Structure 1
Amino acid sequence: MPPFHSTSSRGYHDYGLTFFEVSHLLGRSLNPLKVNDTQRVTLVMISIYTIVIALLWNIPYVRWVLWPFKMLTIAFHEFGHAIAARMTGGRVKSITLDPHEGGVTHMAGGISMITLPAGYLGSSLIGALLIFSGFNTTASKVASLVLAVCFLLTLWWARKDWLTIITILLAVGLLIACWFLDHAKPLRFVVLFIGVMSALYSVWDICDDLILRKVNTSDASVFAQKYGGSSICWGVVWSLISIMFLIGAILAGIITFHQSTAQQIQDSKTFLPT
């Protein structure tokens, strides 16, 4: 008679866990866009941010609440011009932010076909990357470090402009404060907010500049004068690209970051813990 082999309840338990984990991973591989509870919260926050920003952007007397973040997104816009200029052989003389929500990058050389749209598209791309990072706490930490490098470059180019310096220092202070709160748990929501603001900035600003005609000239109008077409046409094209960046960032975040909130906090403790 062959010997009797018994299987302990722990063995069945381990097998059950393994089967559950494999089933979970298989389910995600078959449906990578399946949203869990943590991702659902992130998507809800993106929707809330979009609605709140859109309302505050257009309501008189309360729009000042967004003013610091508008200045920050304009800094991203000018940073996009500056980086494009450097990448195409140009030289950046200075970056200036205007208290009336404007900005200008003084540069020499570069390829204007690239530098002109780089402001709107650059800020949209930065916003999309921040939204992608906002799906995960550790990724938000990494994003804040990358932002710090971008801020240092912007400070160098804007070292004579007090408004740019104050705006960036306030943004750095906010990110540092969130880094030390509850193991950086609030950081990803701040990164997410800045991302939504920056990603949609080009859409709202183009609407202000070209449709509502709040300004006489814009990057799109200068681009149209140089390369043909209408300013509205180029504005719409850039807006559509910005929206594509936003949608791509959300889809990538859902596919890449599927950890629960507890798992994210635990993972973040191993990366520059606070």
Structure 2
Amino acid sequence: MAPTPDLWPTCRIVPTADQRTLVIVACVYIVVIVLLWNIPYLKLLLYPFKLLTVGFHEFSHAFMGLLTCAKIESIHLDPNEGGATRMRGGIPALTLPAGYLGSSLIGAAMIATSFDIRAAKVMTLVIGVFFLFTLWWARRDWLTWVLLLCMAGIIVAFWFIAHGVALQYLVLFLGVMSCLYSLWDICDDLIFRKVNESDASAFARHVGGDSRCWGVFWLIISLVFFAAGIIIGIVAFKDTEAQQRASNFLDTRAFKQ
């Protein structure tokens, strides 16, 4: 009898050389972000990216509210890295955890798609849709407008650098930043210290249990999202950088001719 072909190796999470480079860059991003986070003045470099993650957090509340038939009244970003989403109706058991988990999921999606230039381009288009919804809901909040329009300008500029390679690393950075900030936010608000009012405390009032226990549960889910983003990126995108750059998918070279 002929031996059964071993299909298992095709499913192994074995990164290619280009993927190993991306994983190393992601690790460098983590170290740099953690260092800058705790250095006075230099941590201001992370300020706009922190606010962007807060924007993802609030967008996730609003989007889940939209899916559960809530009326979204407004989104507001605070200069002190806070935010608020006002809505009427919806299902609190779904809209309340959506902020933390949604921003983690968005970050994980950005990490996964950063393993392929073409997927990173698609991801930025999806982010653009996020921006449009958020700008509509935050149409009276000047900080949100300034932040998202500036970030959109940066993304567009990176499309034209090295035919999308720079965009790939920008999406990776935004994904790592979003995941790390979401993880820190959960720990800081719900585990390390008791907050009088938070998404978790409101969630606990609706479904029962302790807000810190829910915080730990959400933290575990966010960590799973983070790891899944890397694993999915490695498994799903195996083309080399040369193959990706050779593709004509959403190619910016046409604008330079």
TM-score by length of 1: 0.86
Aligned residue in 1 for 2:40: 60
Aligned residue in 2 for 1:186: 166
Picking from 81, 85, 105, the partner of 2:61 is: 81
Could you report, residue by residue, the CA deviation over 1:220-261 in whole angstroms, capped at 9, with x for unpaired residues?
122122222111111111111011111111111111111111
Could you report, residue by residue, the CA deviation over 1:104-127 in whole angstroms, capped at 9, with x for unpaired residues?
001000000000000011111111
Alpha-carbon shift at residue 273 of structure 1 (Å) = 3.1
CA distance in 2 between counterparts of 1:57 and 1:211 reads: 19
Aligned residue in 2 for 1:39: 19
Q: In the alignment, is residue 239 of structure 1 matched against residue 219 of structure 2?
A: yes
CA distance in 2 between counterparts of 1:43 and 1:266 reads: 22
Aligned residue in 2 for 1:133: 113
Distance 1:27 1:187, change over 3 A: farther
Partner SS for 1:104: strand
CA distance in 1 between counterparts of 2:40 and 2:149 reads: 27
CA contact (8 A) 1:28 1:34 kept: no
Structure 1, unaligned runs of 5 or more: 1-25
CA contact (8 A) 2:159 2:252 kept: no
Alpha-carbon shift at residue 60 of structure 1 (Å) = 3.4
Alpha-carbon shift at residue 266 of structure 1 (Å) = 1.1
CA contact (8 A) 2:16 2:238 kept: yes
Partner SS for 2:158: helix
Aligned residue in 2 for 1:167: 147
Aligned residue in 1 for 2:88: 108
Distance 1:214 1:191, change over 3 A: farther
Structure number with higher relative contact order (C-alpha < 8 Å, ≥ 6 residues apart): 2
How many residues are paired up? 248
Q: In the alignment, is residue 273 of structure 1 matched against residue 252 of structure 2?
A: yes
Give the partner amino acid of 2:66: R
CA contact (8 A) 1:209 1:216 kept: no
Could you report, residue by residue, the CA deviation over 1:12-38 in whole angstroms, capped at 9, with x for unpaired residues?
xxxxxxxxxxxxxx9995353111110
Aligned residue in 1 for 2:3: none
Partner SS for 1:92: strand
Structure 2, unaligned runs of 5 or more: 1-5
Give the partner amino acid of 2:165: K
Picking from 237, 243, 255, the partner of 1:263 is: 243
Picking from 188, 191, 201, the partner of 1:208 is: 188
Partner SS for 1:216: coil
Deviates more, 1:207-216 or 1:239-248: 207-216
Aligned residue in 2 for 1:4: none
CA distance in 1 between counterparts of 2:159 and 2:186 reads: 33
TM-score by length of 2: 0.91
CA contact (8 A) 2:163 2:251 kept: no
Picking from 202, 207, 230, the partner of 2:210 is: 230
Partner SS for 1:185: helix
Alpha-carbon shift at residue 54 of structure 1 (Å) = 2.2
Picking from 213, 218, 228, the partner of 2:198 is: 218
Picking from 124, 129, 132, the partner of 1:152 is: 132
Alpha-carbon shift at residue 217 of structure 1 (Å) = 2.1
